[in-house]
Amino acid sequence: MRTQEITLLDGAMGTMLQKAGLRLGDRPEALSITAPDVVEGIQRRYVQAGTRLLLSNTFCANAHKLAGTGYNVEEVIGASVAVALRACEGTQARVALDIGPIGELLEPLGTLSFDEAYALFAQMIRAGIAAGAQAIFFETFSDLNEIRAGVLAAKECCDLPVYASMTFEQSGRTFLGVKAECAAMSLTALGVDALGVNCSLGPVEAAPILRAMRSVTDLPLILKPNAGLPDPQTGAYHTTPQAFAAACAGLAEIGAAYMGGCCGTTPEFIRALGEATEGRQACWQAERAHGICSASQLCVFGRGVRVIGERINPTGKKRFQQALREGDLNYIVAQAIEQEEAGADILDINVGLPGIDEAEMMRRVVTAVSGTVSLPLQIDSSDPRAIEAGLRAAPGKCLINSVNASHASLDAVLPLARKYGAAIVALTLGEGGLPSSADERLELAERIVGEAERAGVARGDIAVDCLTLTVSAQQEQARETLEAVRRVRDKLGLETVLGVSNISFGLPQRQLVTRAFLTQAVAAGLTMPIINPNQRDMMDAVDACRVLSGEDTACAAYIERHAPLQQSEKAVSPNGALVQSTTITDAVIKGMKAEAAQIAAAMLEQMKPLELVDGYLIPALDLVGERYERQEIFLPQLMNAAAASGAAFDEVRRAIEKTGGTGEGKGPIVLATVEGDIHDIGKNIVRTVLENYGYKVIDLGRDVRAQRVLEAVKAYGAKIIGLSALMTTTVPSMEKTIRLLRESGVKAPVAVGGAVLTEEYAKRIGADYYAKDAKQMADIAKAILG
Amino acid sequence: MQIVLQSIPLREVLHFLGWRGTPLESGLVDELKALCRQVCESVQPRVRVQRFAIGKDGRLEGCAFAPEGEDIRSMLAPCHEAVLLAATLGVQSERLLLREQSRGSAQAVMMDAVLSAAIEAVCDQAEESLREEARRSGLYLTDRFSPGYGDMPLAQCREICEVLSASRLIGLTVSQSGIMIPRKSVTAVMGLSKAPVARRPSGCEGCAMRKTCALSRTGD
């Protein structure tokens, strides 16, 4: 049991300033300069009411929000902290630098990068320290990665106490879908001093959220709610200070050690809070659940079998390697979605490939994947730089795969695990090479666990990999691995990981051996199998194991997944009759993907690939394009037709590669939506259409900096550059990109498109071509590349 | 303001996809309907509205926002109060778009249209409830006028968001380059008048996009 004195925070600032005449939409922070007495007066009333940790008037004092006010960050923070320090004079109250969200959405959903957010916070923190702030207080965040950027900036810039609070809806999630438990687990991992809830709800509604946080953190909690829920009509708050204080005070028993108020609260609320908590201490159980999480999904260790999906890994996969080389994140994200839908609980992320910057690729892949799937991640690399890049970028708490018993590995990885609070996979491998027995494996596991604990990694956050060796090469090792798993479970009581598929390498009918090994290993205590979740029989085995272990209570999940099987299998059976009566032109025009591929494959047995392309596919596409222009079909039909011809083109490429040629199309054409713009649907349509005319496209994605366009153009030797911008506000960055390309001597023609552009406008910003739609872009490509 | 998205009109979705009445395969319609259902189930629309008295100089009282442009000024001329509105489908809409994008452009195009129709439906509902509220208190509500319409600068969406604390209260942010994110978001101004107000004609004539709109070129 832990206990701590209750520290009173302050109450609302914004609503108090509005009462004093602040207009909505004006920056309250500027008042610290223009009307310091007003700010100090309010803060002094809070201190007199009992506030002992006073937040400076700096909530939005970041460089982006202050732009256009005529003041810079240092001026506003300097003045605000000075005002707060004056308000505390003669008392024991301390001043915390208050930091709120930047007000922009981070990548990948928004355009603000993690590093930019970090830099904005770091600037505020340095200014706060210079002005004499005694703590850093983050509040009202709804994006886990944004508050993580802030906390990391605080931890890396200073040694002051760091407090972190987020704002939740009654559902227990933030606007961005961050779950309370995930917030608590992630912030605990980063080593904040206290964490909790502020704004959006009253103390009664905040209570269940705080309780949810309690289960995954051993830190003191922050409670800074609104004065109840506002009246839906008037927006006014009706809770009395006494009712508010009584509801808050009750939460001292789950460890709410920092209490204050948010919207609608006044010094009277703080005074009432002081009276209600008089003589009380915050106390709580110092135990917490271990595990990992994403922003929205928790994976608590010790609750059963958790499947780690292994598909995001280039080893032995040509298509995946190509995606990495071309930076094709869509392909990688699709792999993540597929595994999530197949039932994976955790995704392994491995992007190591010779010739690519692994750390930068790790950052990009982790960012893109965590924007689209909600699973926790396992960062899989042997390069500490790449591990750190992944841990930094991932919203949540990750698992590191892996650290082994060698000094080099322990020294490089454990400090990262400690700094980011990550869980680790302890791989039973030492300086002496592969272990040969269960004893040796256990000994190595114990050594890593000891070192990890000494380095500050919690024991419960360690999972042991007892190392699967190939049974066809070292047959007796399968037994040793299983025995080691059993001993780790019984003696160390830790989670275990195994790369299950390794077992069957080199054998026919691999899945038989792999599946038998999986079930034996789970019986021996394996909790985190690394498998391909897209293999239905492997996931079926996991379902069955969960039934046998009792994890799947009343077999409910098993029944749900396996009862309706027959129906769905019937529905996807291919229709042979249809294929025979359909021509390739029909299949393309009607957008029938599977049929187009089948027919193309059949035709390729009779004719040369080029004959199929020039004689059938291109004419079919042209026909579709014409019908689209005549408005006989509309956009989704055009896109479905493109997708169908794409499937046929895949067959063509395969046929060419079979005869020893390269299936690569003409080009390449580099495409990008310019910096600052995230509207990429038009660009993606262009990409699809170009690819289906057989061109090779390198798609750089959206919000792409000019410098990155230039680098890609040079690296890939682009023959055409296509730039897209939808907004008037982002056309300037298109112009900037073209200028950079020209100044750097790039001769390749630039074609531009986007809703606000015109032929004339395109010329004015230096483009060579204007494409009003995807069809026209294909015509331009044809004119240039043939 | 609480808005629940119960359904998305298929006609509107088709409109956003540029459909002109050509025959539709049933497969496509089913797919669009399924996307509509998915969006209704998974997105959580959030709307903020706030009323402000209009001062003599045309500024809104108690806030730092002054509508710019002749068009909005003439709309508000007969009004004594203005209602500012900010609405968003939330980040879930961005996630849905990213997911569909990785499945292919056709899916992304359809999802984009469904989401566009969805945010319109949300705004229509919000406007309808404001109109009803106005009617009950004997007032008349003007049309919904958004930054970017007519000569009202697009940049004013940032100011409306600031006044309504949209990023803190409904999760609607404005990027450095002035894009509202989530993209499926709307800001608008409406006027309240004691006397009946002229409404914009609903065809192309009253539409600020008439000069550049692809749909209007063919006379639709």
Which residues does chain B have within 8 Å of residue A103's beta carbon, measured at their own beta carbons?
167, 173-174
DSSP A399: E
Residue A473's Cβ-count burial label (10 Å; 0-12, 13-18, 19+) is exposed
Contact A677 B177 (CB under 8 A): yes
Interface residue A337 vs chain B (CB under 8 A): yes
Q: How confident is the model at residue B215 (pLDDT cuts 50, 70, 90)?
A: low
Distances (CA, A) of B53 to A715, A768, B12, B66: 59, 51, 34, 12
Strands across the sheet with B140-141, in order?
B46-53, B81-88, B185-193, B140-141
Q: What average pLDDT does the segment B156-164 reach?
A: 95
* Range from A67-71, A117-121, A238-242, A635-639 carrying the lowest mean pLDDT: A635-639
Distance CA B58, CA A699 (A): 48
Q: CB B181 to CB A109 under 8 A?
A: yes
Interface of A with B in 52-111 (CB under 8 A): 64, 100-101, 103-105, 108-111
B168/A140 touch (CB, cutoff 8 Å), yes or no: yes
pLDDT band of A49, cuts 50, 70, 90: very high
- Mind listing the pLDDT tens digit for each residue in B20-45? 888 888 888 999 999 999 999 999 99
Task: Tell me whether A586 touches chain B (CB under 8 Å).
Answer: no
The whole-number pLDDT of residue B203 equals 60
Angstroms from B92 CA to nearest CA on chain A: 8
pLDDT digits (tens, 9 = 90+) for A673-719: 999 998 888 898 899 888 888 899 999 999 999 999 999 999 999 99
Which among A232, A590, A729 has the least Cβ separation from residue B178? A729
In chain A, residues with a C-beta closer than 8 Å to the C-beta of B94 are 109, 371
Torsion of CA A97, A101, A107, A112, to 10 degrees: -80
- Residue written as tokens 């991932």? A394
Q: How far apart are CA A91 and CA A73, in angstroms?
A: 28
In the numeric block, which tokens belong to residue A638?
């055009």
Contacts of A334 in chain B (CB under 8 A): 102-103
CB–CB contact B65 A101 (8 Å): no
Q: What is this model's ipTM?
A: 0.89
Residues in chain A: 786
Which run of H or E residues covers position A400?
strand A399-404
CA distance to partner chain B, nearest, from residue A727 (Å): 8
- Pick B175's closest partner by Cβ from A631, A676, A681: A676
How far is Cα of residue B146 from the mean position of the Cα atoms in its chain?
Answer: 7
Whether the per-residue pLDDT at B213 is higher than 80: the answer is no
Contact A653, A661 (CB under 8 A): no
pLDDT at A663: 67
| Beta-carbon separation of B154 and A637 below 8 A | no
User: What is the pLDDT, as a whole number, of residue B23?
Assistant: 82
Strand partners of residue B189: B84, B145
Q: How confident is the model at residue B8 (pLDDT cuts 50, 70, 90)?
A: very high
> How far does A505 lie from chain B, in Å, by closest CA?
31
Does A11 score more than 70 pLDDT? yes
CB contact under 8 A, A676 and B25: no
Q: Is the pLDDT of residue A481 over 90?
A: yes
Q: To the nearest whole percent, how much of chain B has pLDDT over 70?
A: 91
Record the pTM. 0.91
From the list A26, A636, A755, the residue facing B17 with the nearest CB is A636
Inter-CA distances, A33 with A23, A45, A58, A334, Å: 16, 19, 12, 51
User: B168, A640: Cβ pair inside 8 Å?
Assistant: no
DSSP A697-712: EEE--SSB-HHHHHHH
Taking CB atoms and an 8 Å cutoff, what residues of chain A touch B64? 23-26
Q: How far apart are CA A73 and CA A94, in angstroms?
A: 21
Omega prior to A668 cis, within 30 of 0? yes
Percent of chain A with pLDDT over 70: 97
Mean pLDDT of chain A: 93
Is A691 at the interface with chain B, CB within 8 A? no
Does A115 touch chain B if contact means CB atoms closer than 8 Å? no
Would you give the DSSP letter of residue B59? P
Determine, for residues B25 and A590 on separate chains, whether the beta-carbon distance falls below 8 Å: yes
**Helix (DSSP H) and strand (DSSP E) numbers for chain A:** 33, 25
For B176, the closest of A64, A142, A175 (CB atoms) is A64
Note whether B94 contacts A109, CB cutoff 8 Å: yes
Q: Measuring CA to CA, how many Å separate A558 from each of A214, A304, A539, A553? A: 31, 15, 11, 9
Which residue reads 């600020």 in tokens?
A: B208
Contacting residues of B for A101, CB less than 8 Å apart: 167-168
In a mutational test of the B interface, the residue from A627, A640, A690, A699 whose CB has the highest number of chain B CBs within 10 Å is: A640
For residue B183, pLDDT over 80 is answered with yes
Nearest to B4 by CA among B125, B128, B171, B130: B125
DSSP track, A291-341: EEE-SS-EEETTSS--PEEEEE--TT-HHHHHHHHTT-HHHHHHHHHHHHH
Closest chain A residue by Cα to residue B64: A25
Under 8 Å between Cβ of A786 and A700: no
pLDDT tens digits along A711-723: 999 999 999 999 9
pLDDT tens across A157-172, in order? 999 999 999 999 999 9
- Contact predicate A163/A141, CB 8 Å: no
